[in-house]
Amino acid sequence: MQNVLQLLQDGEFHSGEALGRVLGVSRSAVWKRLQGLEDDLGLHIFRVRGRGYRLASPLSLLDPALIADACSACGWTAEVFPSIDSTNAQALRQLAAGSQAPLLVLAERQESGRGRRGRAWVSPFGENLYYSLGLRIEGGSYSLDGLSLTVGVAVLRALQESGCVGVGLKWPNDVLVAGRKIAGVLLELSGDPAGLCQVVVGVGVNANMLPGASIAIDQAWTSLREQSGVLVDRTALVLCLNRWLAHYLALHVAEGFAGVRAEWEVEHLWQGRAVTLSAGPQQIEGVVLGVDKQGALRLDVAGEERQFSGGELSLRLRNDS
């Protein structure tokens, strides 16, 4: 089916005869095969007598060969899956099985994509970026403190290079445009951080998903395509993110998060804002002062500075801010 998707991704009409040649079936059997494609991948395909078939919206499919070549040039390996449970889970499995690292895992679709705090990450076929970079760290060779924030800066730079205007960071792992989420970071570890461990840097970017689609997301969101008005080349976005991640990971190895801290604070949208921090049932109100050199949030709480870190924390703007 990949050859058919390559043909249809432009969003233009293609004749049943042309599609039949690609599928290796008769012209009369094309529609049945395309209906199966709709059911399997959640795509919408229009059929118009005399014109042929087209996707309801064009796609930008990933180019595995181009991605593999670019990764090989910088010492990474790469795999692109049509569909997978989770790119983070696959990267962890492959690292545990002894795969070479750094290892980039990408997918056209995730069946069980996940975000922070156990949330599902909506992952429709061919729309967004589902990106996981697997690293192997030995002997505590560099600090993991603040690593997710360092990755956030790399994602921000990639989005800016891709033409996204007004993008900024929200502690700890969100990237926003005009208060709406456009990307997120999820780090997952296995092994001993002080000895040998595997770290997966998971990044999700809303690339071409558009509002109005039947997509259930429990927070305000936007996408690069909505912001720019044009279809995003997802392969180019992968290569751009690769470059920025390689740069910032090298900086983090050399200096830790301290080398990125000032840059992160400049891009933090809620710097100096009044916020409510949720820590389980506890609600803490304060004003954002910034982050410390480990990436913990610094809050002014009733005139006293306090630091907070942890995966179960949630930060919201206060109504009066």
Q: At what angle do helices 147-161 and 234-255 cross, to 10 degrees?
A: 140
pLDDT at 29: 83
- Asked whether residue 115 is marked as a ligand-binding residue, the answer is yes
Catalytic residue of the set 116, 157, 170, 261:
116
Catalytic residue of the set 181, 225, 234, 261:
181
Distance separating the N- and C-terminal Cα atoms of the chain: 51
- Asked whether residue 116 is marked as a ligand-binding residue, the answer is yes
State whether CATH 2.60.40.420 applies to domain 2-55: no
Residue 34: what residue type? L
Pick the CATH number of 64-265 from 3.30.70.20, 3.20.20.70, 3.30.930.10, 3.10.20.90: 3.30.930.10
Q: Could you confirm whether 181 is annotated as catalytic?
A: yes
Residue recorded with tokens 């959640």:
42
- Asked whether residue 72 is marked as a ligand-binding residue, the answer is no
Q: Could you confirm whether 116 is annotated as catalytic?
A: yes
Q: Tell me the pTM.
A: 0.91
- Asked whether residue 314 is marked as a ligand-binding residue, the answer is no
pLDDT at 314: 86
pLDDT at 119: 59
Residue 180: what residue type? R
Domain 270-317 sits in CATH at: 2.30.30.100
Nearest CA-CA partner of 267 in 204, 162, 177, 182: 177
Per the structure block, which two tokens stand in for 158?
């990639």
- Asked whether residue 77 is marked as a ligand-binding residue, the answer is no
**Euclidean distance between CA atoms 241 and 203, whole angstroms:** 10
Q: pLDDT tens for the chain, 321 residues: list them.
A: 678 888 888 889 998 888 888 888 887 788 888 888 888 888 888 888 889 889 888 999 999 999 999 999 999 999 999 999 999 999 999 999 999 999 999 999 998 755 554 555 677 899 999 999 999 988 776 789 999 999 999 999 999 999 999 999 999 999 999 999 999 999 999 988 778 899 999 999 999 998 865 566 667 899 999 999 999 999 999 999 999 999 999 999 999 999 999 999 999 999 999 999 998 888 999 999 999 999 999 999 999 999 998 767 888 998 754
Q: Are 106 and 131 in contact (CB under 8 A)?
A: yes
Q: Are 169 and 267 in contact (CB under 8 A)?
A: yes
Q: Could you confirm whether 306 is annotated as catalytic?
A: no
Domain residues of the chain, as ranges? 2-55, 64-265, 270-317
